[in-house]
Amino acid sequence: MVKQTLLRIKPELEKTIEFFRHELAKIRTGQASPALVEDVMVTMHEQMLSIKQLAGISSPERRQILISPWDPASIGPIEKALLKESLGISPVVEGKVLRITLPTLTQEYRQTLFHILAEKAEQTKQTARKWRDEGWREIQEDARKGDISEDDKFKGKEELQVLIDSYTKQVDELVEKKKVEIEL
């Protein structure tokens, strides 16, 4: 019963970590990344589409993002969406492409990014703790029903905590890696 609970919670924790990785990719560092703009929503043909559905996105240089729309008519709507998104970037239309040059990060902006990073990490850890609490409730319920012994209950609690600790450690490692990127 304990193993089933742990096996049910583990994929949820994996999803939580994957979501956190995706959120980290959106945090602008000194280095350009297509992830900064790929999910920006654009109104095109009376539909909301992400930029990645409308164009190829590349990073030809350390601080540049190049957006190459497949339909040249989408340049205007993409530019408007980027300006509206308030990412602190200014797209420049160069013929059939949009070029974004990221400014260097100021120390003040870095501090803001560190704060955002800490908030996202704490939200991820809270989600992991929520799953831990749910798993512990299931283990306690199994013990009340008599499906597992008291010893198994506490052993399950320890195994659950070890699992949560491993995911919390992953979050901390990802945060440290992102801090290094921001400092560059």
pLDDT for residue 123: 95
Task: Show the domains of the chain with their CATH numbers.
Answer: 2-26+106-183 (1.10.132.20), 34-101 (3.30.1360.40)
Buried/exposed 33-52: b ≥16 CB within 10 Å, e otherwise: bbbbbbebebebeeeebebe
Task: Pick the closest to residue 101 from 73, 82, 77 (CA basis).
Answer: 82
- Written as tens digits, the pLDDT of the chain (184 aa) is 788 888 999 999 999 999 999 888 877 676 777 888 888 899 888 889 888 898 999 988 888 899 999 988 889 899 888 888 766 678 889 988 999 888 777 888 888 889 989 999 999 999 999 999 999 999 999 889 888 888 998 999 999 999 999 999 999 999 999 988 888 7
pLDDT for residue 172: 95
CB neighbours of residue 147 within 10 Å: 13
pLDDT for residue 45: 81
For residues 68 and 74, is the Cβ–Cβ distance under 8 A? no
